[in-house]
Amino acid sequence: MLLPVVNSIVQYETRSGRRISRGVAIAVLLSSVFLALAVFFILALPPVVRDLHQFAADLPDRIPSIVDRIKHVPYADKLGVDAFAEKTESALSATVEYLFASFPIWLGNIFELLTALVLCVYFMLEGNAAYMWLMSLLPINQRLRLAVTLEKADLRMSRWLFGQGLLMLILGVSSTVVFGLLHVRYFVFLGVLMGLMNIVPVAGGVITIALVAAIAAIDSWAKMAGVLIFYVLYINVENAYLTPRIMRKSVDLTGLTVLIALIAGTELAGITGALVAVPTAALVAVLMDEYLVQKDQV
């Protein structure tokens, strides 16, 4: 998935006319990713973690006052407010227990990401040698057809990666700017999250904007209305202008195909499967089009 980016860096020529080696290109790419993550963790996460910690510490003391307010609502006695308070306290303790119990699972997910990163580096360094070895196993008369088909798939995956990355960047930057102007809490974190979740068609944006609207509503209904108005305007601009122009010559994968690929990849191989799901779907689509689809003979 990252190989097209590495190839683009390798093709860059310095002033002396020399090209960057593949190892240096990989190092530049990984350094850029780690730098971006470091900036994100330093700027965006501390306010969120601090407020969550404060909220968790204050919530047990706030529950009685919240319950008292609810009791003043008409017919509140029929809603089982006291039982709700007891269930809330037990849910809090269960949540704390779950966080401690799930800590090894989170460590496992981090290990999965590191494993996927190591595999990506090896594939980028030695992928061409592995490709040539696999091609040597095929009969000579079939190699050319498969090579051309795989080149089409590589071009398709590269175009999707560029187009989807550009759409995610546009949404992330515009969301961060608008949320900042509206003084929404954690606007940097939420803007980045909006951009990242844009990889999931429809559902990703809806879930994220619902979260942003809920956080904005904590301060005022006007902020929530501003967030929703921004998202409605952006979706119309993206569907009518950005997507047709950016994805016009891209992979031609429908939103449903991308969503199914992400679900299947996550179920089969967790985070690593999700990372390679869409490029794999593009590869499968090209192979099916070449070898399975019955084209009309002219």
What is d(CA 71, CA 67) in angstroms, rounded to the nearest whole number?
6
* C-beta of residue 215 within 8 angstroms of C-beta of residue 184: yes
**Those residues with Cβ within 8 angstroms of residue 262's Cβ, 6 or more apart along the chain or in another chain:** 199, 200, 274, 277, 278
Is 245 domain-assigned?
Answer: yes
- What pLDDT, in 10s, does the model give residues 92-138? 556 555 655 665 666 566 666 677 777 777 777 777 788 888 888 88
Is 159 domain-assigned?
Answer: yes
Eight-state DSSP code of residue 78 = G
Is 230 domain-assigned?
Answer: yes
Is 259 domain-assigned?
Answer: yes
Backbone phi, then psi, for 19, in 5-degree steps? -95, 155
Looking at residue 142, its pLDDT comes to: 85
Q: Is 90 exceeded by the pLDDT of residue 174?
A: yes
Looking at residue 9, its pLDDT comes to: 67
Q: Please give the tally of structural domains in the chain.
A: 1
What is d(CA 187, CA 217) in angstroms, rounded to the nearest whole number?
14
Q: Is 50 exceeded by the pLDDT of residue 166?
A: yes
Looking at residue 172, its pLDDT comes to: 92
- What pLDDT, in 10s, does the model give residues 18-72? 777 777 777 887 788 788 878 877 877 787 777 767 766 666 666 666 666 655 6
What average pLDDT is seen over the chain?
A: 76
**Residue 174 belongs to domain spanning:** 143-291
When pLDDT is cut at 50, 70 and 90, the band that residue 175 belongs to is: very high
Looking at residue 225, its pLDDT comes to: 92
Looking at residue 298, its pLDDT comes to: 45
Looking at residue 92, its pLDDT comes to: 57
The residue-averaged pLDDT of 6-11 equals 68
* SS3 label, residue 27: helix
Q: At what angle do helices 140-181 and 203-219 cross, to 10 degrees?
A: 10
H-type alpha helices, the chain: 3-10, 22-43, 45-71, 81-101, 103-136, 140-181, 187-197, 203-219, 221-237, 243-246, 255-291
Q: Which two tokens stand for residue 182?
A: 């509206």
Is 298 domain-assigned?
Answer: no
Is 201 domain-assigned?
Answer: yes
* C-beta of residue 203 within 8 angstroms of C-beta of residue 259: yes
- What pLDDT, in 10s, does the model give residues 259-286? 788 888 878 877 667 777 878 888 888 8
What is d(CA 159, CA 252) in angstroms, rounded to the nearest whole number?
10
What is d(CA 81, CA 86) in angstroms, rounded to the nearest whole number?
9
What is d(CA 96, CA 56) in angstroms, rounded to the nearest whole number?
10
Is 82 domain-assigned?
Answer: no
* C-beta of residue 8 within 8 angstroms of C-beta of residue 32: no
Please state whether 17 falls in left (phi above 0), alpha (psi between -120 and 50) or beta: left
CA torsion sign, 39 to 44 to 49 to 54? positive
Eight-state DSSP code of residue 187 = H
Q: Which two tokens stand for residue 146?
A: 């498969």
- What pLDDT, in 10s, does the model give residues 199-243? 776 677 888 999 899 888 888 889 999 999 999 999 999 888 887
Is 270 domain-assigned?
Answer: yes
